Structure 1
Amino acid sequence: MITDIRVNKPMPFFSEEPLIFFNRTTNVSLTIKALEAGKPVLISEFYNNGLDLLKALHQYLKKQFPNQTFKEQRAYRIAYQKLSKLIYIEIVDHKLNVKKAPSIGWLLKLYPEHSSFLLPFTKVQGLNSAWQWYQNGMDLPVLRSKIHPYYGVYFPTRFDHLILFDNWLKRYSGPKKSAIDVGIGSGVLALQMVKFGFQKVFGTDTNPNAIVGLTESMGDTKMSRKIELDFAPLFGKWEKQTELIVFNPPWLPAAHDLDKIDEAISYPETLFPDFFEAAKKRLLPDGKLVLIFSNLAQITQVTEAHPIEKELAEGGRFKLEQCLKRPVKAASNQTKRDQNWRAAEEVELWILVHA
């Protein structure tokens, strides 16, 4: 039962030792030294004090880490994550126990069994922004109605790859009895397929929040009968062959030292070989396998290998029917990271058929 799935959420922290308090009068340098020594710090008095400490931590780390290349940015983020996760804020009766704090509905929705506990301040920031998206919803250029992404579910903030897929679906003239969306996430690709007349879309995901969130948002509507979900890796319980398999995998190979940073955009070494092997069995003889990818790993020099090109060259399972590409729009002016590689980034739509 989907209702039995346990969602991923920040772990509540219950301290047995007194914590170091941080407010407007606290020495920032001494606080950062305490964090480096592994001592937890508790934000007190005002919510903004937490923002001030994080800002000071950023400035401190910028002096130690260059932040120019993609790899340097990763190292900087790892160091920041290690220290910032020791900064806590108290929750009492499902509310943040500081003045001028945002109201976050997830604190009751995700923690009904705990009324008072601590959470890392950065996790609370994530819960806060996720609550805004969840409540207000977001418009996508490829869908008629808003999506309301559940906490902890990747959702698109750039739309070039969705537009590429939408344009391909407009021209798709094959049968539309069923399709499989591997790694359904916030459900955008599945909703696009339903929009273009697919009668049934079977979706899987290894993220419990994706399954719980989509189940909740679809409720008992017509959409819940068109999109069927399974909390499982790759194809899960969907054994029957289908005319269309869609996969929008992570676009970067996972670094061994990442420890779940960038989890939504990092793939393990075995993902693509396992996927192609399983897809071969699930795709009807005249079916199409559609992969949405990017040249991000190559232009940021994370790796020269392209997993789809590798499969086509060595796998012997599929052949290329078409590869469509679309340049990515320039990074937002509000983005703080140096993203000069964006000018060369392209999203890719690979259409493969049985070899």
Structure 2
Amino acid sequence: MQSHDPVPTGLTLPAGPVTVADDRMRAATAHRLARAGTSLVWRGDFQGARQLLRAMDRRIGAGPTAADPAEAFRLHRRSRAHRARVLDRLLVELADDYTVALRRAPDVRAACHAAYGPPGGPSLVPLRELLGVIGAHQWRVRGVEVPALGARVHPHYGVFAPTRSEYVDLVADAPLPATVRRDPAAAVAFDLGTGTGVLAAVLARRGVGRVVGTDVGPRAVDCARDNARRLGLHGRITVTTGLYPGGGAASGRADLVVCNPPWLPGRPTAALELGVYDEDSAMLDGFLAGLGQHLRPGGEGWLILSDLAEHLGLRTREELLRLVETAGLRVAGRTGVRPGHRRSRDVSDPLYAARAAETISLWRLTTDPQVERQPPHGPE
């Protein structure tokens, strides 16, 4: 049943109706209220709130699907957005020092400080978001093992974690451009959209003398700098804000420019989707359009891109190649690998057919006709 405790005062409350809930509230009631737009401020046991969240999630169900890949993707995104709206109605209160005054609540102060910065007073946050903050902090503390580095990378909150190794392995294994091989110590590489800095670290470990990582996100810039320091590479890796670096440290040109943009064209609906969706293909277009003027003679651009968008009907291979040609570039070679993540084998996934057919590719791009052309290899 619903609690009759008063709604908390002194807090910024969400729009719409607000009520207090506790361990007496059934999942069916919570789901009904949340679906109707009522926010639930939790006053019961913290672990009970987690159980209620899982029960609400089960009541939402999987949502509709379709045989057409593009329609299945549209329905999948709509279902995820609906799920987020409903589940994010279950709120918990953070005190002005980020403590949670609930029974069996964990100490989340360090996690919240890392995610939100210094506290600015008591606040209400969705329990689902708080659990994400806790999980992200655990990753930051423990790190993610990267076999290609033989070391761990520590993602910060809001920065895409390198949990999939395929794209990292492609960069670790691809033959370096001839200009890099001739004089590695003098070579310069750019890693656009560096995120955690994992690809910048791989290039530095492969012997590239100077690597400049860039990112438009302040969290990512701080994260990449932190990882470069942890890996003992801060003397060879510089991280700056933007897409391409300016004319300063690296004179604006490089022997190798690596870009792993978000793989799906689409509009992100949350900050954590920025690593997945590239609205209007802006980052892909920016990389391709600027590559020619940022390459040294004989240099290469490496585009790491999944063809999942093609299998979902969001972009065709012809459209991708047209973008490359319009930018005055040519394809010198392509290496592809199949994904090994769990969802590519999960037949219950509404996007299973597209995921099962996915290939992640490293495209070697150049403006120089003298760069050796290699036939594509790996799965198509």
TM-score (norm 1): 0.85
TM-superposed deviation, 1:276: 1.7
Instruction: Select between 32-41 and 167-176 the one with higher mean Cα deviation.
Output: 167-176
Aligned structure 1 segments of 4 or more residues deviating by more than 6 angstroms:
333-336
Matched, 1:210 2:215: no
TM-superposed deviation, 1:143: 0.7
Structure 2 equivalent of residue 7 of structure 1: none
Matched, 1:295 2:307: yes
Change beyond 3 A, Cα 1:58–1:305:
farther
Figure out how many residues of one structure are paired with residues of the other and give that number.
339
Matched, 1:241 2:240: no
Contact 2:333–2:364 (CA<8 Å) still a contact in 1? Answer: yes
Match runs of 1:164-179 below 5 Å: 164-169=170-175, 173=181, 175-176=183-184, 177-179=187-189
Give the distance between the partners of 2:289 and 2:283, measured in 1 at CA: 10
Contact 2:30–2:56 (CA<8 Å) still a contact in 1? Answer: no
Q: What's the % identity of the aligned pairs?
A: 22
Give the distance between the partners of 1:186 and 1:327, measured in 2 at CA: 23
Change beyond 3 A, Cα 1:170–1:279:
closer
Give the distance between the partners of 1:163 and 1:16, measured in 2 at CA: 44
Structure 2 equivalent of residue 348 of structure 1: 361
Deviations along 1:65-117, one digit per CA (max 9) or x if unpaired, are 22574332211101011222222111223222222223332223434233532
Change beyond 3 A, Cα 1:241–1:111:
closer
AA of the residue aligned to 1:326: V
Change beyond 3 A, Cα 1:210–1:351:
same
Contact 1:183–1:247 (CA<8 Å) still a contact in 2? Answer: yes
Contact 2:339–2:360 (CA<8 Å) still a contact in 1? Answer: yes
Instruction: Select between 236-245 and 197-206 the one with higher mean Cα deviation.
Output: 236-245
TM-superposed deviation, 1:291: 0.6
AA of the residue aligned to 1:243: D
How big is the alpha-carbon RMSD for the aligned residues of Structure 1 and Structure 2?
2.8
Structure 1 equivalent of residue 111 of structure 2: 106
AA of the residue aligned to 2:112: L
TM-superposed deviation, 1:259: 5.7
- Residue 215 of structure 1 aligns to a residue whose secondary structure is helix
Match runs of 1:308-323 below 5 Å: 308-315=320-327, 317-323=328-334
Could you list the runs of 5+ residues in structure 1 that have no partner in the other structure? 1-12
Give the distance between the partners of 1:206 and 1:145, measured in 2 at CA: 26
Contact 2:177–2:299 (CA<8 Å) still a contact in 1? Answer: no
Deviations along 1:220-262, one digit per CA (max 9) or x if unpaired, are 9852221111122x1143552111100001111114x846573
Larger radius of gyration: 2
Structure 1 equivalent of residue 73 of structure 2: 70
Contact 2:189–2:212 (CA<8 Å) still a contact in 1? Answer: yes
Match runs of 1:188-337 below 5 Å: 188-219=198-229, 222-232=232-242, 234-238=243-247, 240-255=252-267, 258=269, 262-269=273-280, 270-304=282-316, 308-315=320-327, 317-331=328-342, 337=349
Change beyond 3 A, Cα 1:168–1:174:
farther
Change beyond 3 A, Cα 1:16–1:250:
closer
TM-superposed deviation, 1:16: 8.7
Give the distance between the partners of 2:172 and 2:355, measured in 1 at CA: 22
Give the distance between the partners of 1:43 and 1:131, measured in 2 at CA: 23
Structure 2 equivalent of residue 45 of structure 1: 44
Could you list the runs of 5+ residues in structure 2 that have no partner in the other structure? 1-10, 67-71, 369-380
TM-superposed deviation, 1:47: 1.8
Change beyond 3 A, Cα 1:230–1:195:
same
Change beyond 3 A, Cα 1:349–1:50:
same
AA of the residue aligned to 1:323: R
Change beyond 3 A, Cα 1:221–1:191:
closer
Give the distance between the partners of 1:236 and 1:244, measured in 2 at CA: 13
